[in-house]
Structure 1
Amino acid sequence: MTPLSWAVAAIASVLVHIAQVHASVTIYNNNGMQQQPVGTDTAAGATATNSSIPQWLADMPAFNSIVLQAPAIPSPAPPNQFTLNLQGSTANVPGISIKQNGTFLGFSIEMSVATQVIGINSTFLQVPFLNLMALLAQRGGTVPVRVGGNTQEFATLVGSIADGKALEKDKEDTSNPTATPNLVFTSEIIYMLNNVSALVGVKWYLGIPFNDTSNLRLGIAEAGEAILGDNLLGFQLGNEPDLYVNHGHRPQGWNQTNYFEEFGAVIQAIANDVNIPVRNNLIAPSVSGAWTPESVFDTGFIPAYTGSLGFLAVEHYPDNNCAAAFPGSTSAAPVVPQDVFPNYLSHNAGNSIVSAYLDTSSIALQAGKPFIMFETNTASCGGFPGVSDSFGAALWGVDYGMVMAFNNFSQALVHVGGVSDTYNPFTPPPTNISTSKQWTIGPIFYSTIVIAEALGPTGTAQVFDLGANGNNIYTPGYAIYENGNLARVLLVNFVTDASGASTYTATLSFAGGNVPGSVSVKYLLAPSVSEKDNITWAGQTFGSKFESDGRLRGNETISTVQCDQGAGTCAIQVPAPAVALVFLTSSALQDVSPSSTQTFSTTAVTKVGHSATIDATALATSNGNTGADRQKLSSTSKGSSGASSMMPAVPTAAVLIVTGAASLLLTLGLSH
């Protein structure tokens, strides 16, 4: 059988199988026009029962089943009745934050896992990732995503890779920290990112390798500017340079002055490169705590390079799990997760991180530069099982995000690793797992939804820490203003108490008599801070491990609370544990409540009826039709490089979206 006839037979076989299981496929013609309309809101999600998950998979950190004990109710317990006096406008709120946007919390994706999380290449995108990003973009406006991390420093852009992949790891060389491999990648990765941007509102941060500044590799900057255009936010130059010596990437004695000098050498090289037209979008110093940002600034860094700097940034994890994740890498004893669990369950957790950067935040404001927490999560080296993947981490993420917003950070990126990490906001299933077992959405992803809705898409949100309940660390609260007027209130309860005795009532008292007749409340809920699966946001959930395609499931539930206009108050109950987001006006709620949710459903799940569809106009302009000269995973387009030589063995029900000129294939659950 010829390669072409084999490909046709394989596709026919799959289509027959799809017909047998009543799954539906949307076909687009060569102009990107839909021929058989199919709705996007009816696809059912497949689930995997615990009994169907093999033990070796359950033992992976990302899918572990460790459940900790919730900390005891604090003694003394926080008061469960208190009043919050609210000002109607920012004119009466000294110390309020700078203007923020719902894009505040984004993601930092380790470059080595980009082809597992985002897509295999520009023609093969992960549908759950698209769904998750669309969900946030429709609430906050856009989603900032960084592709980089430790692996960006030793990554090299090449013209092609022999096996046709877009990215490949050099597993023989593990000289990077946390055993992350060196990488080679092609421009297909950049095209993949731009195709995501064409479909959902994602903007990208990338990193220029900084491992050898005497032999610079600026290819990623050249390709990034040319391909991403306005979808590119900036380039990090130096990822955690304060750890270079410890990691063996610079000689002993290399210091802040050396970093300053090497940074300048790269700026000069960029200025001499006609293929890098944008010269003012670099991100630095991205130190992680071994150096203070101020020690870098003391070299004259900001005034010397202000014309090249687009952002000032730091990276910070409040703890680390390195001794357990990498035995022998440190003399420290492994951290016991149960012992540190309470450290994440109070307002002190976020404040203790941010307090070290208050001066830096002020310096950034004076310099006119956005200040970013460029990489963060619960603990470095993958997080703590039972902590990083618990509802407690979701509460921590909400409060930590609001603390940063109040203290004039402009953005924060939650790190995403692979299956060896417990802190992931989302994790695709391993390659060799059936596609009926889907993505795992971590509790901390719920934090990003709450923050997106709390800050909204207007770009005018300003945050004020209310010092709620006499500054009680277990019951923090925030007022959020838009266009100078009070719009939302966010309340947190870190306590776990099944009896209901620790449910508190916060009485909102409005200055000036402008009292709403009623308010709307959305709740982030779980039975305990140690809960890993039974988590809901306004009644909706992503389910448990291997259950998600990136779409919220269930009916949305929004509570209506009647206010006492005579007394000028509204009483809001907050269960223990929970987050309550109170919408004080109808517009504040409508701004973050899309009338329809953009989703990308697929047929990558067997034995369940699914639909595969995507907006034709988005597809036609998605850059997917520029792939004729780039090697693809597979394609049936005439003349395509993948039409014969790259056609893989076709798994059961693996055809998702068949396109003509655009050749954009979206898939669910098939990682690489």
Structure 2
Amino acid sequence: MILPTLLTFLSALHVSHASVTVYHQAPMAAQSAAANYTAPAAYDPTILNAPPIPNPAPSVQFTLELQSSSQAVQGLSIVQNGPFLGFSIETSVVNQVRELKIEFKHSSFLQVPFLNLMANIGQRAGSVHIRIGGNTQETATLVASIPDGKAIEKDKVSASNPTRTPGLLFTAEIIYMLANISALAKVKWYLGVPFNDTANLRLQIAEVGQAILGDNLIGLQVGNEPDLYSAHGHRPATYSPFDYFGEFGTMVQAINNDANIPAKNKLIGPSVATGPWTPEMVWDTGFISSYTNSLAALAVEHYPDDNCAAMYGLGSPKDPQTEFPNYLNHTAGKSLIAPYLNSASIAQAAGKPLLMFETNSASCGGFPGISDAFGSALWALDYGLQMAYSNFSGALFHVGGQNVYYNVCCFVSPPTNQSTFHKWTIGPIYYSILISAETFGPNGNSQIIDLNANNANAFTPAYAIYEGGNIARVALFNYMTDQSGANSYTATISVGGGQTGAPNGTPAQVKVKYLIAPSVAEKHNITWAGQTFGSTFESDGRLMGNLDVNTVTCDTNANTCQVQVPAPGFALVFLTDSAFSEVTPENPKTFPTTSMTRTLNTATVDPSVLATSNGHSGSDRNKLGSTGKGRANGAESLREVVPGIFVLLAMGLGAVMAGSGIARLGRVHV
């Protein structure tokens, strides 16, 4: 039975015809095929040209000789967990995983596609790690309430820095929303503590976060890219690692003195961008030894490139077509990790995890045709596995709203006036995170090694994954694009240390899942084991199509298994049945849609709420539009404000607060 209040609400939707005036996104890079494209970056149709086959081309036949036991392998990584790759969500767009409150006071409307997308990963990895933070965490303030019942609101007046980052006000409703997501989809959270005013610390997010999230709060970030504070006008020009060290100590002391923050050891720092500072400059202050009892992890943040000239007019413009090949080889990930190998060793010696707390293809929104193409899925997966091999303990790919190209998945919902007939758009890097979960599995006892395959060729890298001390999976990449098949390759896998067909030797057969697309430049025709999230506006967060897993019969006389990898493509080879079954759910958990909002536009929203992450404002937009029925530009770009679908869970009147023991008065809707 639908609750009477819900019926009242739905009835109100049927008679509402309010219009919403919106601002257009300023054009980003005016390059390639979509030079005049000005709508949100999430739907940019720009397609680049795939790079030519390298000359000389790599061999298309090579052998991988593996040991059955990890004890016989030198150079294995530290033990890794299933949710190694996760998400970093800009604080200013976190409300997009739910509906804005309209009539229900103290109610959260959780996005069905978002829950499905998280459940996909949680079932394979055991949990999902998400950070709520970024530039906008520094100026965020948790308040008791916001006028008109809003859960989050931007203060555009304070957006005076180069990246136009606004101040934020948000309520505990946001934290309750996160707890509801945890209860449904196995999500654990990192939260950013505001750090812009260390003389007047605002610890409410830590207090309320611990009270509501409980064990699902796994870390509190103190300072986001402090080495860029001076450049962004947040600190004096003389600001140094020793200044950060001192301010971090002020935070530690305040938390230790705060009885409302019972867990004192959840802090994360220094999260340097490796710009003006290196991590070693912070380690040299005595940071780790001085604050070891307060530190849950050490962290850095890094992007391989930037598109800031197109977004903010900072630096020199870059041509995506020229930049594209830089992402399409194994060297890309290795070169990104090289500056952090020493810090990884330092972290291990200190007994602390090292996290890549924010990364993606390029800062300032990414590149059209790169960040949203199949090549980025190969790049992100290879980069992630290289981080794991290099003894990072996790990495988070950043999400920043509809007006960036590098969106992983979870905020590319359809514009409001299309939400009743369009679904979500899933970015290629979501596939990378899903596959990473399958690569490491849910048991938390995997180790990985870079095999330097095919004479260490940069276009055909491979990794071996050991689970519980035994060989479990092999990951194979092919960065080349060649639909003729001439540059597809065959990897011959041989497992030593046991008899053929035995659990610790070459198996009699292996199962293989493929991530494939026609080209590294492809945007939507992407499949993982025969299934897909579809093209633009096609996904409800569930994999579509029939599961297609290849079974390869091995040569028991030669003690070999031959696995083909298309160009381009990725293959995950399962060497045991258990390695396959633990990451291949027979009954995937999904969240159905049982209620729909009105098919006409229904919400009136302050334009400041429509500003995008990292300080986008409306003051410099040169076009206005309306979503009112029959109005001009009614179908043009509108950032998601009130999505079209939600369901009422059969959960009674109390929302489930995972790990907190707190009963939330109100209802949870998804």
Aligned pairs for 1:421-460 within 5 A: 421-426=404-409, 427-460=412-445
Against the structure 1 CA distance between its residues 657 and 497, is the aligned structure 2 distance closer, same or farther, given a 3 Å change threshold?
A: same
| Alpha carbons of structure 1 residues 67 and 603: separation in structure 2 relative to 1, 3 Å | farther
Q: 1:228 and 2:210 equivalent?
A: no
Aligned to 2:663: none
- Structure 1 residue 174 displacement after superposition: 1.4
> Does 2:371 align with 1:388?
yes
1:65 aligns with 2:45: yes
Partner of residue 572, structure 2:
581
Aligned twin of 1:642 = none
- The answer to whether the aligner puts 1:260 opposite 2:270 as a matched pair is no
Please point out which of 64, 67, 75 is paired with 1:84. 64
Give, in whole Å, the separation in 2 of the partners of 1:653 and 1:367. Answer: 47
Indicate the residue corresponding to 1:417 in structure 2.
400
Q: Which residue of 1 aligns with 2:223?
A: 238
Distance 1:432 1:151, change over 3 A: farther
- Three-state SS of the structure 2 residue aligned to 1:383 is coil
Residue 532 of structure 2: which of 541, 545, 549 is its match?
541
- In the alignment, is residue 344 of structure 1 matched against residue 344 of structure 2? no
Cα contact 2:646–2:669 (8 A) shared by 1:
no
State whether structure 2 residue 89 is matched by structure 1 residue 98: no
In the alignment, which residue of structure 2 is the partner of 1:160? 145
Q: Equivalents in 2 of 1:11, 1:378: separation in Å?
A: 41
| Cα 1:280–1:596 shift into 2, 3 Å | same
Of 171, 178, 198, 2:183 maps to: 198
Distance 2:92 2:451 in 1: 41
User: Is the contact between residue 204 and residue 234 of structure 1 (CA under 8 Å) also seen in structure 2?
Assistant: yes
- 1:263 and 1:654 map into 2 onto residues whose CA distance is 41
Partners of 2:465 and 2:652 in 1: how far apart? 47
User: In structure 2, how many angstroms separate the alpha carbons of the residues matched to 1:57 and 1:278?
Assistant: 49
Alpha-carbon contact 1:100-1:461 (below 8 Å) kept = yes
1:539-578 paired onto structure 2 within 5 Å: 539-578=530-569
2-structure distance, mates of 1:176, 1:223? 29
- Find the aligned partners of 1:91 and 1:658 in 2 and give their Cα distance: 50
| Structure 2 counterpart of 1:278 | 263
TM-score, normalised to structure 2, is: 0.84
Taking structure 1 as the reference length, what is the TM-score of the superposition? 0.83
Q: Do residues 479 (structure 1) and 464 (structure 2) align?
A: yes
Q: Distance in 1 between matches of 2:403 and 2:330?
A: 29
- After superposition, the Cα gap between the structure-2 partners of 1:209 and 1:536, relative to the gap in structure 1 and judged at 3 Å, is same
The one-letter code sitting in structure 2 at the alignment partner of 1:442 is G
Q: How has the CA–CA distance of structure 1 residues 5 and 504 changed in structure 2, closer, same or farther, with 3 Å as cutoff? A: closer
* CA 1:557–1:606: 2 relative to 1, 3 Å: farther
Q: Percent identity?
A: 60
Supply the AA of the counterpart residue of 2:170. F
How far apart are the structure 2 equivalents of 1:140 and 1:465? 21
Structure 1 spans left out of the alignment, 5+ residues: 17-54, 609-649, 668-672
Counterpart residue type for residue 196 of structure 1: I
- CA deviations over 1:314-345 (Å, ceiling 9, x no partner): 00000000000112xx2x22110000000000
Number of residue pairs the alignment of both structures matches? 583
1:296 lines up with 2:295 in the alignment:
no
* 1:9 to partner: Cα distance: 5.7
Amino acid at match of 1:174: A
Partner of 2:28: none
Tell me, in whole angstroms, the C-alpha distance in 2 between the residues paired with 1:5 and 1:546: 32
Report the alpha carbon displacement of residue 391 of structure 1 after superposing the two structures with TM: 0.1
- What secondary structure, in the 3-state scheme, does the structure 1 residue paired with 2:465 have? strand
Provide the rounded CA distance (Å) in 1 between the counterparts of 2:144 and 2:309. 39
Which amino acid is the alignment partner of residue 282 of structure 1? L
- TM-superposed CA distance for 1:511, in Å, is 1.2
Q: What is the rounded CA distance, in whole Å, between the counterparts of 1:208 and 1:521 in structure 2?
A: 43
One-letter amino acid matched to 1:437: H
* Residue type at the aligned position of 1:237: V
1:499 pairs with one of 484, 502, 505: 484
Query: For residues 196-255 of structure 1, what are the alpha-carbon distances to aligned partners after superposition, in whole Å with 9 as ceiling and x for unaligned?
Result: 001110000001111010011000000011111000001000000000000000011110
The one of 311, 316, 321 equivalent to 1:333 is 316
Q: d(CA) in 1 for partners of 2:63 and 2:570?
A: 17
| Cα distance, 1:123 vs structure 2 | 2.0
Query: Residues 6 and 479 (structure 1 numbering): CA distance in 2 closer, same or farther, change over 3 Å?
Result: closer
Per the alignment, residue 306 of structure 1 pairs with 292
Q: CA separation of 1:576/1:429 partners in 2, compared to 1, >3 Å: closer, same or farther?
A: same
Q: Give distance in 2, aligned partners of 1:393 and 1:519.
A: 27
Whole-angstrom CA distance in 2 between matches of 1:386 and 1:601 = 33
| Residue identity matched to 2:561 | C
**2:324 counterpart SS class:** helix
- Corresponding residue number in structure 1 for 2:10: 11
Question: Once structures 1 and 2 are overlaid, which stretch shifts more, 510-519 or 5-14?
Answer: 5-14
Contact 1:406/1:465 (8 A) holds in 2: yes
In structure 2, distance between residues paired with 1:431 and 1:176: 30
CA RMSD of aligned residues (A): 2.4
Structure 2: which amino acid aligns with 1:281?
A: K
Quick one: which of 506, 526, 540 aligns to 1:515? 506
2:345 is aligned with 1:362: yes
Q: Which residue of 2 aligns with 1:644?
A: none
Corresponding residue number in structure 1 for 2:132: 147
Distance 1:109 1:574 in 2: 33
**CA deviation after TM superposition for structure 1 residue 601, in Å:** 1.6
**C-alpha displacement of 1:666:** 3.5
- Counterparts in 2 of 1:263 and 1:505: CA distance versus 1, 3 Å: same
Equivalent pair of 2:416/2:643 in contact (CA under 8 Å): no
- The one-letter amino acid paired with 2:274 is G
Change (3 A) 1:458 1:15: farther
